[in-house]
Amino acid sequence: MDIAVIGLPQSGKSTVFNALTAGHSTSTGAGGAGPLQVGVVKVIDPRLAVLDGMYHPKKVIHPEIKYWDLPPIDREAVSANQLLSGRQRNILQAADALLVVVRAFEDPALLHPLGDVDPARDVKAMLDELILADLEALERAEARLSDGLKKAKPAERPAMVPQLETVQKVKANLEKGIPMKSQTLTHSETVALVDFQLLTSKPVVVAFNAGESEKPPTFESLGIANEVAGGLGEVGLCAKLEVDLAMMDADEANEFREAMELDEPAVERVKQVCYSTVGLVSFLTVGEDEVRAWPVPIGIEAQMAAGTIHTDFTRGFIRAEVIAYEDLVRCGSLAQGRKEGVLRSEGKTYPVKDGDVINFLINT
């Protein structure tokens, strides 16, 4: 899962990125105005440690999240109400989700580009910028489709009209401040917009970056309306403190957290919120070669889940042998699970659940 980290200047965006990646990242030239920092972190699934003890595989493979730290927004652009450059918007289109860092700390040495620290205003400003980016994309698409429709032959026009109408429908709702993911669209309308990669169709998590002695705000404490907060993930952290802790060895960091009565590391909380907001669960596979967790969308059917292992598995799917993680641990083996009747066969449309241990039978 690729998550782009964005935020206003002096929001602590890069500090949050460094906390999440423990300072381990690489630079690419994809940022245009500056380097794009990329860091990969593992999403540790504690169930794999138990399965490792049962199967002693050659490899244990945890899912990964790849965080992107976009180049900073230019202050002059902020003053002109241009919070994202065209190049940044293009990068964001390729992300699976967006992590919006919002400043909630006071520091006289770091002037806020909009004057004062106001998290509620900044949340709205960033969300409005995503809507603006999509409006500009759809305005160009509408002009292109309208022009193409005029030039098309009469027999070609009926196939072109639905996409134009969908673009106009979504654009009209965006103008009312309704992001794409909050709009009611049919499956065919959603498919018609896939190629546009609209930013407001992506899951968004807001990270409130507070000071060391400050309690991070929440949507509720800021009075952000449900119609705005609905569908958004939120997490509070002190990025500066989390960076310091991330640089310590594990034992030292744990002792410090206990002494300060701190919660689990921010990196873990952000992972959990991102998984929940994106709507992911993990099914598990076991064997002598490897035990592994596979993140998939909630409610995905078994045949499509098989395709996450290898695309050919979707086409050759026969059935899935499924046992709940808890049942496998209790039984001690798949063979015992079969004897007790908790290892079962499921068909193509079985909705995969978090913690399902699955063996796919494939026609090769």
Query: By 3-state DSSP, what share of the chain in percent is helix, strand and coil, each rounded to 5?
Result: 45, 20, 35
Q: Which of 85-94, 113-122, 123-132, 336-345 has the lowest mean pLDDT?
A: 85-94
Q: Are residues 174 and 307 in the same domain?
A: no
**More confident call, 229 vs 267:** 267
* Structural domain of 337: 299-362
Does pLDDT of 31 surpass 50? Answer: no
CA angle 163, 167, 168 (to 5 degrees): 115
Name the domain boundary from 245, 277, 309.
277
In which residue are the tokens 């002109």 written?
80
C-alpha to C-alpha distance for 90 and 73, rounded to whole angstroms: 14
Q: What pLDDT shows up at residue 265?
A: 81
Local confidence band at 251 (pLDDT 50, 70, 90 cut-offs): confident
Q: Are residues 93 and 148 in the same domain?
A: no
Does pLDDT of 75 surpass 70? Answer: no
Convert the pLDDT of each residue in 168-223 to its tens digit. 999 999 999 999 999 999 999 999 999 999 999 999 999 999 998 888 999 999 99
Q: Are residues 24 and 138 in the same domain?
A: no
Q: Encode burial over 82-111: b for 16+ CB neighbours within 10 A, e otherwise.
A: ebbbebbbebbeebebbbbbbbbbeeeeee
**More confident call, 82 vs 245:** 245
Please give the order of strands across the beta sheet that includes 64-69.
26-28, 36-42, 64-69, 2-7, 97-103, 204-209, 233-237
C-alpha to C-alpha distance for 259 and 62, rounded to whole angstroms: 30
The domain spanning residue 257 has which CATH number? 3.40.50.300
Does pLDDT of 79 surpass 80? Answer: no
* Residue 51 and residue 284 in contact, taking contact as beta carbons nearer than 8 Å: yes
Q: What pLDDT shows up at residue 226?
A: 72
Q: Are residues 189 and 305 in the same domain?
A: no
The domain spanning residue 358 has which CATH number? 3.10.20.30
Average pLDDT over residues 315-319: 95
Q: What pLDDT shows up at residue 248?
A: 83
Domain count, the chain: 3
Local confidence band at 228 (pLDDT 50, 70, 90 cut-offs): confident
Q: Quick one: 60 exposed, middle or buried, by C-beta within 10 A (0-12, 13-18, 19+)?
A: middle
Q: What pLDDT shows up at residue 305?
A: 97
Does pLDDT of 30 surpass 60? Answer: no
**Which residues lie closer than 8 Å to 127 by C-beta, 6 or more apart?**
100, 179, 204, 228
Does pLDDT of 69 surpass 60? Answer: yes
Q: Encode burial over 137-166: b for 16+ CB neighbours within 10 A, e otherwise.
A: bbeebeeebeeeeeeeeeeeeeeeeebbeb
Average pLDDT over residues 45-71: 95
**Hey, what amino acid is at 64?**
E
Does pLDDT of 162 surpass 90? Answer: yes
Q: Are residues 94 and 133 in the same domain?
A: no
Name the domain boundary from 141, 174, 200.
200
Q: Which of 39-48, 86-95, 119-128, 202-211 has the lowest mean pLDDT?
A: 86-95
Number of residues assigned to the chain = 364
